[in-house]
Structure 1
Amino acid sequence: MELPLSQVRKGEEVHFKNPPAAFFDAIGGEEGMKELMYDFYDKIYESAIAHYFPQDEAEFDEVKFKNSKFFIQICGGPKVYENEAKGMNLNEYMIRVHDNFSITESSRIEWLGTMREALADKAQHVDIELIKAFWDYLEHFSKLTVNTFADGSTYYAAYTQAKEDG
């Protein structure tokens, strides 16, 4: 599955749009999205970036549950993440959640590589154009979580979200 990956450039303004609701439907709705995300996070737990996540199994299960709800809603499913976002735009809220971590470009690439594996496992039945649209969101949005650079400096990227996504 050919899914492009571009590098974060410090100072770059990131443009993105939310994934289409058609991806949510094609992956199998809430249950399909949960399967994808739980598979993804199980892979994360065995990856080089596992240290970013709770090592306690119950706490990690809570991360999987909450992040599944985020992706269900951001992909056009039911509004199941509203309480966690505390009234904020979902994308803005998720960016702020990541501010507490020193996230590097190499961590972002590992995260995306793990998601690529999960998509290969769980989205084989989904039209490639819908997968690419979902990937485009992940690839661009994930740049906004990178805040620590090789030279030791930090930077929080500016972004614009496509208007049709709210």
Structure 2
Amino acid sequence: MSLFLAFLGVSFVVLATPGPDTAITIRNTLLGGRMAGVFTALGISSGQTIWALATSAGIVALLVASEPLFLAVKYAGAAYLIYLGFKALQEALRPPHRQDTETVARPARRLTAASAYRQGLLSDLGNPKMAVFFASLLPQFVPPGGESFSALLGARSSPS
């Protein structure tokens, strides 16, 4: 039980610390409202689930051990965040439409649920620090003598 409480405590600290996932959630909430924020958070949660499963299966250890692969994920994630920033600037700098002689405020383009989810997922998967985080933190909570894959998935190993 103490292992579980320690895991909950560490998880809370990690979740409360702002980072790129927090920034994209705030951005998408401002662009698309509550629904876009919720779907962005769901995409981020899906990405974290994928990282946790990849850690459990040992795939993340390969990513962390291979500097070229780690850098490829890092640069792909950075490029995606730059792309999203460029698109936001482009949208903000677009001149408003004119109708007759009056200037009409341009209606805000709403962010769809699918787009918000995809942005959250790709933002999280493009962050190689998540791989390092999961690879270094999750194994600390595997019970001694247990199979790491099943233990990290939450399954209890049967005694031999």
TM-score normalised over the length of structure 2: 0.32
Q: Which has the larger radius of gyration?
A: 2
Higher RCO (Cα < 8 Å, 6 or more apart) = 1
Structure whose residues are more often helix by fraction: 2
TM score, norm. by length of structure 1:
0.31
